[in-house]
Amino acid sequence: MNENTPMDTRSLSVQEKITPVLMKRFDIPGPRYTSYPTADRFLPDSQGKHLIDALNQRSSAAESLPLALYVHLPFCESVCYYCACNKVITKDHSKVAEYLRYLDKEMGLMVSYLPDPARRMVSQLHLGGGSPTFLDDEELTQLMNGLRAHFPFESGCECSIEVDPRTVTTSRLTHLRDLGFNRLSFGVQDFDPKVQQAVHRVQPFEQVAALMQDARTLGFDSVNLDLIYGLPHQSPESFDQTLRQVLEVQPDRIALYAYAHLPARFKPQRRIHAEDLPQAADKVHMLDQAIHAFMAHGYDYIGMDHFALPDDQLAQVKREGRLQRNFQGYHTNAGADLIGLGVSAISQAGQAYSQSVKTLEEYYAALDGAMLPVERGLTLDDDDLIRRDVIMTLMCQGRINFDAVERQYGIEFSSYFAEALARLQEFEIEGLLIRTLAGLEVSKLGWFFVRAMAMSFDKYLWRHQDHQRFSKVL
Ligand code: SF4
């Protein structure tokens, strides 16, 4: 279903506004669709059967498809109060050695399930967490050596790592470059000292700016900066200053997330006082401010919460209609199977998903028993596959071509998706979605609500009417 022509997102929204009325109607709780079905639909699968079967069933043609690797490194020295990640807070760095030993075991087991591992070249690697830079230089070297010993890497492999600015120096960035990393993602969130104190993550602007400069000098291909709006003590005025500072250091990519205050689900968030959070109207204002600032400074809107400079690869694949989406968000690598390593990591191969156990104890116990440390998984049925394709195409390309779907899956779009099309009418009325002769097309302003539109195609959500437990779409 790749018959979509590229769409112009450069001039997005400069004249258009996300109004409080639109927010009230369409900023509803919903999944981020890094997978379909969403991970909470996966079934118990302690044997890793879904993943193993999918890897075994890869046709000989697919056996040469590239691999994408994700490694979850869960350790952090201190907790950020907004955090919703699976992490282990500790100052005990000796825990890393044991974790690396088990990661190595997992890599060996995983490779044993690949029918022809020498042909599965790694084209993308991402280290996430937790804080990957909790590991010292020697430990990161050990990890990279282990990965390269188990998996063959393409020479131009895209290697990225999440960096906590508080844990790196110029020499550490140099080491990362020497290890083959060519992309960095800095967790910043906000530069206002008062906000940083309120979320327990203090990292002065000057420190981040110096590291960004180092990254440029060292020749990293792309540097991403993560921001969050809706944090305690943020205001349109304070956020304006943060945006000016972000634009001063000009990251290649910007991820702008909304803070979702769910203290009942995420314990660290109980340290954030609800009365310190900005009002809904101020949140809308900050989002609008950010969009206009990024657009005015030449960033392309990628989708949902991502922006990139026009010459960044993410913006290029978006223009070419080749953008993809998986558990790491938007990415550039079509067709690769994703192998997740480490606690809570998610894999995606062919028609299957699987997710690993979340605690270190469970992880070590499974590997001691020579089992993949899988907790749950799913093999998609025919209906799931059609809906996944439609949802991901909508989220990545912003348009659905009815004829392409009908030819690929042998369905009649209007009757198969009658309920979804009826639900989408309210987006059409507001001009967020346009019905054309060929299909559906998300308007420029509609891109910010594309997640809510995708929900219309989610069979599970409507069957159970349970979207309230997700965070809001913006
Ligand atoms: S936000 Fe990142 S660095 Fe902070 S506690 Fe969570 S995982 Fe660790």
Phi/psi of residue 34, nearest 5 degrees = -80, -10
Mean pLDDT of 246-258: 96
Shared-domain flag, residues 282 and 414: no
Quote the ligand 1 centre to 228 CA distance (angstroms): 13
Measured CA distances, 39 to 35, 379, 460 (Å): 7, 12, 12
Strands 122-129 vs 153-163: parallel, antiparallel or unpaired: parallel
pLDDT at residue 11 tops 50: no
Residue position matching structure tokens 């937790």: 130
DSSP string, 418-458: HHHHHHTHHHHHTTSEEE-SSEEEE-TGGGGGHHHHHGGG-
Using CA atoms, how far apart are residues 188 and 198, in angstroms rounded to an integer?
14
Residue position matching structure tokens 């109607």: 25
**What's the token pair of residue 182?**
């060519």
Instruction: Tell me which residue of 166, 177, 39, 180 sits closest to 122, measured CA to CA.
Output: 180
Residue position matching structure tokens 């507001």: 430
Tell whether 368 is covered by a domain: no
Q: Identify whether the C-beta of residue 399 lies closer than 8 Å to the C-beta of residue 365.
A: no
Q: How confident is the model at residue 12 (pLDDT cuts 50, 70, 90)?
A: very low
Lowest mean pLDDT among 96-105, 206-215, 461-470: 461-470
Mean pLDDT across the chain, nearest whole number? 91
Mean pLDDT of 355-381: 97
Q: What region does 398 belong to: left with phi over 0, alpha with psi -120 to 50, or beta?
A: left
Mean pLDDT of 260-271: 94
**What's the token pair of residue 179?**
């290890």
Dihedral sign (CA 381, 385, 386, 392): positive
Q: What DSSP state is assigned to residue 334?
A: T
Pick the residue with more confidence: 214 or 1? 214
pLDDT on residue 336: 84
**What residue's CA is closest to ligand 1, atom 2?**
130
Quote the ligand 1 centre to 91 CA distance (angstroms): 14
- Quick check: pTM over 0.95? no
The per-residue pLDDT for range 25-60, each reduced to its tens digit, is: 777 778 889 899 999 999 999 889 999 999 888 766
Shared-domain flag, residues 167 and 182: yes
Q: How confident is the model at residue 472 (pLDDT cuts 50, 70, 90)?
A: low
Mean pLDDT of 249-278: 95
Using CA atoms, how far apart are residues 50 and 17, in angstroms rounded to an integer?
44
Residue position matching structure tokens 């899988």: 374
Residue position matching structure tokens 């991403």: 224
Pick the residue with more confidence: 24 or 373? 373
Shared-domain flag, residues 14 and 147: no
Which of 76, 91, 127, 135 gets mutated to test ligand 1 (max ligand atoms within 8 A of its CB)? 76
Q: Identify whether the C-beta of residue 473 lies closer than 8 Å to the C-beta of residue 452.
A: yes
Instruction: Tell me which residue of 359, 335, 361 sits closest to 349, measured CA to CA.
Output: 335
Using CA atoms, how far apart are residues 208 and 308, in angstroms rounded to an integer?
19
Quote the ligand 1 centre to 285 CA distance (angstroms): 26
Q: Identify whether the C-beta of residue 282 lies closer than 8 Å to the C-beta of residue 236.
A: yes
Tell whether 265 is covered by a domain: yes
Lowest mean pLDDT among 164-173, 230-239, 444-453: 444-453
Q: How confident is the model at residue 1 (pLDDT cuts 50, 70, 90)?
A: very low
The per-residue pLDDT for range 306-322, each reduced to its tens digit, is: 999 999 999 999 999 88
Shared-domain flag, residues 48 and 30: no
Count how many domains the chain has. Answer: 2
What is the CATH classification number for the domain harbouring 132?
3.80.30.20
CA-130 nearest atom, ligand 1: 7
pLDDT at residue 7 tops 80: no
Which of 72, 73, 75, 79 gets mutated to test ligand 1 (max ligand atoms within 8 A of its CB)? 79
Q: What DSSP state is assigned to residue 226?
A: E
Cis peptide before 37 (omega within 30 of 0): yes
Using CA atoms, how far apart are residues 328 and 130, in angstroms rounded to an integer?
14
Pick the residue with more confidence: 112 or 463? 112
Pick the residue with more confidence: 323 or 342? 342
Tell whether 465 is covered by a domain: yes
Tell whether 346 is covered by a domain: no
Q: How confident is the model at residue 465 (pLDDT cuts 50, 70, 90)?
A: low
Shared-domain flag, residues 459 and 324: no
Using CA atoms, how far apart are residues 144 and 159, in angstroms rounded to an integer?
10
**What residue's CA is closest to ligand 1, atom 4?**
80
**What's the token pair of residue 232?**
């305690």
**What residue's CA is closest to ligand 1, atom 7?**
130
- C-alpha neighbours within 13 Å on the C-beta side of residue 97: 3
Name the percent of the chain lying above pLDDT 70.
93
Which of 72, 73, 75, 80 gets mutated to test ligand 1 (max ligand atoms within 8 A of its CB)? 80
Tell whether 89 is covered by a domain: yes
Mean pLDDT of 386-404: 95
Mean pLDDT of 201-206: 96
Find the residues whose C-beta lies inside 6 A of ligand 1: 76, 79-80, 83, 85, 87, 129-131, 164, 187
Which of 72, 83, 199 gets mutated to test ligand 1 (max ligand atoms within 8 A of its CB)? 83
Q: Which of 277, 307, 338 finishes a domain?
A: 338
pLDDT on residue 324: 87
CA-268 nearest atom, ligand 1: 5
Shared-domain flag, residues 230 and 281: yes
Shared-domain flag, residues 79 and 28: no
SS (H, E, C) 93-113: CCHHHHHHHHHHHHHHHHHHC
Tell whether 363 is covered by a domain: no
Q: Identify whether the C-beta of residue 338 lies closer than 8 Å to the C-beta of residue 55.
A: no
Tell whether 115 is covered by a domain: yes
Range of the domain at 27: 1-37+381-474
Quote the ligand 1 centre to 79 CA distance (angstroms): 6
Instruction: Tell me which residue of 32, 11, 472 sits closest to 287, measured CA to CA.
Output: 472
